Amino acid sequence: MPSVTLRSPDELADALPYFMGFHPSDSLVLVALQGDRGLFAGRVRLGIPEAEEDWEFIGRELPRCLVQEVERRTGGTPPDGVVAYLCREPGPGDSGRQVMEGLRPLADALLASCRDLGLRVLEALCLSGGRFWSYVCTGAGEACCPPDGRPMLMPGTSVMAASATFAGIQVRGTQQEMEARLTPPAGASAAAQEEAIDDAVAEALPRLLDEERRLGLAADTLVTIGDLVARLRENPPPAARARSADEWDDRLLTDAEAARVLVGLQDLQTRDRATLWMEGSQAAAALRLWRALARRCAGVYRPYGGAVRTLAGWAAWSLGDVTEARLSLEMALTVDPDCVLAEMLYQAAGSGMALERMREALRSGVAEYPALRLPARVWPPVDVPDGGTDAVQGELFALRDVGEGVGAGPAAEGERRAESAVDRSEPGEPAPGAAQPGEEAVGPVTDAASGSSPSAVSGRGTGAWAVGRPGPRGGRPTGRAGDDGRPKPRPAKAVPRQRRRSPGEAPEVGERGAGGEA
């Protein structure tokens, strides 16, 4: 994308979707700038905490996270300035101005932290209801900053929009629209799906008591996945619009099929094997399947969405869509904050790790899980060239168990990688061709504890199953300081706390609870 100079608050407000790759909502966004010319150097995003008592903490910590992120990217050079955005749509009966005033304490905390860190705040904007307000404007009179705010520029009329069009860049829809593709609906269909998952759990539990039958359940899950991927490949959606395409895919899956796969994917090994639907038309159809399954995680089974959202994020990244990948992985971590695979993929996608290197990391460990009997039409999930043979598809792939981390050997017991709630709450690199930091050297992703590069990826433990009606899980990352001073997720206030289970420990059958908020 050619260099673009933004000179006014109007242009800065209009530029936000191009920084992010989509229109963020209910979010804090900090954009870092470097040098006298104010070159784009990176950004972070975090959902606005629902609890106002958390605002001071978030306002203090988010700028620090931005500085750390920029220093990591640039080899230690901190940013010089920052532009802040507070985005929230008015609720029923509210106005944009009321939203702006309501968020002012959060803006004040952000600005104070930026000043303490020596960052110049070039602008701090509240975007709400199609208008924007500045928290730092010192101009006098309504001509500069009218009480009702200033209207956003007409779509497609700004210098940023023109440059993006010239470069072939398209901004997605809103954040809510993207999240809706991975969010189960309410109503009668959700109740029917929940009942189907109840039946699938009851069917699966006896098979978990015997190792051979457990492996048979894993094989059955993978065969069903392969058949569903093939069905979706053979039935491309006729409509280009995302909602229509998703409705098309929903009709291609029965409640019983979706339930069996969702239950099967609660096995970490089966979930890990499913990452290998990651290339070509296989990945494209798999992404449609993972989205559709995420929309089936109804009622108390919302936590089951952690596995399929993780797979959706990986499939999106495999197809080159880092923006959707990171948003999907963020949503996975919302319902399952301890998902090591989602955390690792999120960080790797955002760090600029080569996609083929991650594919190889997945392939390299696949031979070390127990062998399964699978038909050649299903496994391995690769495209067979025209005129070729599919005999090699009888080979068995699996993932090495490496405990909690990423690397060639087991990680330390109890190592958690969920401390970076702020970093994972921003959806990653801009859409292809969008604004990028200037000359940056991104090194290989390494394990935080050992410094080793990824050669295998896994969840925790071998064959860890957790089926049944899930209990409460973590809610949004609303922020509490961890050992390193960075925010950690905590449950939403409406969800009671419950003893945290070990990774392979299943909830009691029949237990009910609210899933994490998506």
CA distance 335 to 330: 9
Alpha helices in 394-504 (DSSP H): 421-424
249, 287 in Cβ contact below 8 A? no
Q: What is the pLDDT of residue 346?
A: 92
Given a cut of 80, whether residue 516 has pLDDT beyond it is no
pLDDT mean across residues, the chain: 75
DSSP secondary structure letter of residue 316: H
Residues 407-454: pLDDT tens digits? 222 222 233 332 333 433 333 344 333 444 332 222 222 333 333 333
Q: Helix, strand, or coil here: 236?
A: coil
- Strands laid side by side in the 120-128 sheet: 39-47, 27-34, 81-87, 120-128, 131-134, 150-151
The residues, any chain, with a CB within 8 Å of residue 504's CB and separated by 6 or more, are: 460, 461, 463, 464, 465, 466
CATH 3.40.140.10 residue spans of the chain: 9-166
Binning pLDDT at 50, 70 and 90, where does residue 497 land? very low
User: Rounded to a whole number, what is the distance in angstroms from the first to the last CA of the chain?
Assistant: 33
Please give the DSSP secondary-structure letter assigned to residue 280: H
Q: pLDDT above 70 covers what percent of the chain?
A: 68
pLDDT tops 80 at residue 238 = yes
Amino acid, res. 42: G
Beta pairing class for 120-128 and 150-151: unpaired
Residues 303-324 as b or e (16 or more Cβ within 10 Å = b): bbbbbbbbbbbbbbbbbebbbb
A 10 A CB-CB count for 424 gives 26
Supply the DSSP string of 338-372, one letter for each residue: T-HHHHHHHHHHHHT--HHHHHHHHHHTGGGSPP-
Look at residues 9, 11, 79 and name the one whose alpha carbon lies nearest to residue 41.
79
Q: CATH assignment of 9-166?
A: 3.40.140.10
Q: Which amino acid is at 257?
A: E
**Structure tokens of 98?**
């009321």
% the chain with pLDDT above 90? 45
Q: Are 422 and 487 in contact (CB under 8 A)?
A: yes
Residue type at 517? E
pLDDT of residue 353 exceeding 50, the answer is yes
Host H or E run for residue 122: strand 120-128
Among the listed residues 39, 48, 46, 49, the one whose alpha carbon sits nearest the alpha carbon of residue 70: 39
At 80, phi and psi to the nearest 5?
-100, -30
User: What does the pLDDT look like over 267-297, one tens digit per residue?
Assistant: 998 999 999 999 888 999 999 999 999 999 9
Question: In the prediction, which pLDDT does 227 show?
Answer: 95
Residue with tokens 């629209």: 177
- 311 touches 275 (CB < 8 A): yes
Distance set, CA 430 to CA 85, 323, 376, 472 (Å): 16, 6, 39, 33
